[in-house]
Amino acid sequence: MNNIAESYVKLVLQVGLYDADFVDAYYGPEEWKPSEPSGDRDDNLKKLEEQTMKLSEKLKPFDNSDLPEMDRLRYNFLAKQCVAIRTKIQMLIGKKFTFDEESRLLYDAVAPKHDKYFFEKAMKELDNELPGSGSVSQRLEEFKNAFIIPKDKLDQVFKAAIEEGRKRTRKYISLPENENFVVEYVTNKAWSGYNWYKGGAFSLIQINTDLPIYIDRAVDLACHEGYPGHHVYNSLLEKHLVRENKWFEFSAYALFSPQSLIAEGTANFGIEMALSGKERIDFESKVLFPIAGMAPETAAKYYQIHELVGKLGYAGNEAARDYLDGKMTMEEAVEWLIQFGLYPRDRAQQRIRFIEKYRSYVINYNLGQDIVKNYIEKNGGTLANPEKRWSIFTKLISTPQTPSGLN
């Protein structure tokens, strides 16, 4: 299997020569990095597709239910990753897939469909709770404007949120002694935050400041990108699988693959793991709201509204599906996000830029979170049993996992 793992890593890195976003992280042997390609682009990609098919064939003898659990997980992971790599190569050559076909092949999952009535029901709840007069979207924007973090307080707020996430994560997860991160503030990006994992338990966390940042995003991004999210996920995979087991396939992270649904799903659910419900409101009202210059007594109402807005999360998937499938124009997709996702126009436009760049990747956040949450809770990891909850979560972020394996 280790020879297959080496071939897999080299394949991922070669595909990355044709899509700069494909290799999200690599910290394996330097000599495995490929040289710049020569010759015809499509011919080269077809050869890489053939290599992927051969790799899948080499994996088949390991499809054995008698294998130990970790070896079965390793096989399932590599098999699903190879399906995604082949699909990505086909897309680079020009093959078209529907949104749902693409997400199934790349991410091993298909997002549920919701019509406008699903979102209208959630909007009625918001309509009843939002103060003021006017449309729901207008009142929501006016309400949230009071909770924008001042730019001169941004770094202080984020660092406080990250430290709280780290403290709570360390209570249940043994982190590498040398783990660390750096936060940078950037502009002109399609995303709101990004974790660039560099290896050696070190991350560069970038926060996009193109648009105003609301107070809830501090904990969201701190936990999602940091603790117990991407930074912890990548650090544990490196520690346990790459360094201890010598499973070098985990030294190369192929972004457009099932691994990303696990990564984004655990990072999103990680927010709830670290700070859920009343705990979050207590922490933010005592620490983050005062730092940001906001009235602590407004935190409970803010998060009541925030929870209701969360019910509209799948509106973005519907816009992405119909826009990429050619059933909506760009402007229609923007209007859908404004009407049913309650996005301000500038954020709806930013979201469309994200959809154009990352396509069906959008399902990995909300669907990934739901898959992870359901798996943990149906296996006894409820809020009433935090030890069990953290135990299952830790296993998910330190072992090979696939989305279909959690169903």
123 and 11 in a common domain: no
Q: In this predicted structure, what is the pLDDT of residue 131?
A: 92
176-197 mean pLDDT: 95
Last residue in a domain, options 82, 107, 132: 107
Last residue in a domain, options 58, 78, 107: 107
Whether residue 136 is predicted with pLDDT greater than 90 in this model: the reply is yes
162 and 21 in a common domain: no
8 and 139 in a common domain: no
pLDDT digits (tens, 9 = 90+) for 102-112: 999 999 999 99
How many folded domains does the chain comprise?
2
294 and 169 in a common domain: yes
- Look at residue 381 and tell me if it is in a domain: yes
Q: In this predicted structure, what is the pLDDT of residue 356?
A: 97
Q: In this predicted structure, what is the pLDDT of residue 64?
A: 82
pLDDT digits (tens, 9 = 90+) for 5-23: 999 999 999 999 999 999 9
pLDDT confidence tier of residue 55, bands split at 50, 70 and 90 = very high
- Look at residue 368 and tell me if it is in a domain: yes
338 and 364 in a common domain: yes
pLDDT confidence tier of residue 277, bands split at 50, 70 and 90 = confident
pLDDT confidence tier of residue 209, bands split at 50, 70 and 90 = very high
272 and 167 in a common domain: yes
Last residue in a domain, options 51, 79, 107: 107
264-292 mean pLDDT: 97
pLDDT digits (tens, 9 = 90+) for 343-395: 999 999 999 999 999 999 999 999 999 999 999 999 999 999 999 999 999 99
Question: 204 has which bridge partners?
Answer: 182, 196
134 and 97 in a common domain: no
- Look at residue 207 and tell me if it is in a domain: no
Domain extent, residue 19, equals: 2-107
Q: Tell me the average pLDDT of the chain.
A: 97
58 and 162 in a common domain: no
Q: In this predicted structure, what is the pLDDT of residue 65?
A: 81
